[in-house]
Structure 1
């Protein structure tokens, strides 16, 4: 649905590995370790991280480091980021795991991969 584009410093495999093994795990760690207990503060925390993710993606898209396909765009990324950060902090895996699996199928079907 989207692709990270290489540049002169790092090839495609390097870009994907950097995001997969460094950027995403580190941001998830920061997000979860600082997650507040108070409900309104949690909402602000989620909104902050959604804005960070969508902001970085928008800049990457504008600079040509991200390309979209199959109808995906920045609005879908915003929807996905909200969904992802809501599910990431969920404390009941009995509910969050099946919901995540259903979400995966939702995106795969909607964007023509299944």
Structure 2
């Protein structure tokens, strides 16, 4: 069976970014708290290679994902524990 969808990170990164640009432009989505398209590009550029790595070395992929999560939480001031 032929592959219908491209197996290329650049395609998927651009595709997801295009969707976000479109949904933001028609006010279907709103970025706030300092998030912008550059952060989305950074996220997508990290996410898709991590998917591939996860198939080859899941433990390493999880470690990198949690490091990435920590970086994002620190950058945007997200508390690790929510207090009431």
Fold conserved (TM > 0.5)?
yes
Runs of 4+ more than 3 Å apart: none
| C-alpha deviation, 1:89, in angstroms | 1.2
Q: Which residue of 1 aligns with 2:65?
A: 100
Alignment of 1:87 onto 2:50: yes
- Describe the superposition over 1:58-79 as per-residue Cα deviations: whole angstroms up to 9, x where unpaired: 0000000111111000111011
- Describe the superposition over 1:28-73 as per-residue Cα deviations: whole angstroms up to 9, x where unpaired: xx97xx64xxxxxxxxx00000000000000000000111111000
| C-alpha deviation, 1:94, in angstroms | 2.0
Alignment of 1:65 onto 2:28: yes
Q: Which residue of 2 aligns with 1:109?
A: 74
Q: Which blocks of at least 5 consecutive residues in structure 2 are unaligned?
A: 80-84
- Describe the superposition over 1:1-48 as per-residue Cα deviations: whole angstroms up to 9, x where unpaired: xxxxxxxxxxxxxxxxxxxxxxxxxxxxx97xx64xxxxxxxxx0000
Size of the aligned set, in residue pairs, is 74
Q: Which blocks of at least 5 consecutive residues in structure 1 are unaligned?
A: 1-29, 36-44
Q: Which residue of 2 aligns with 1:46?
A: 9
Q: CA separation in 2, counterparts of 1:57 and 1:80?
A: 12
Select between 87-96 and 58-67 the one with higher mean Cα deviation.
87-96
Q: CA separation in 2, counterparts of 1:62 and 1:69?
A: 14
2:22 partner SS = helix
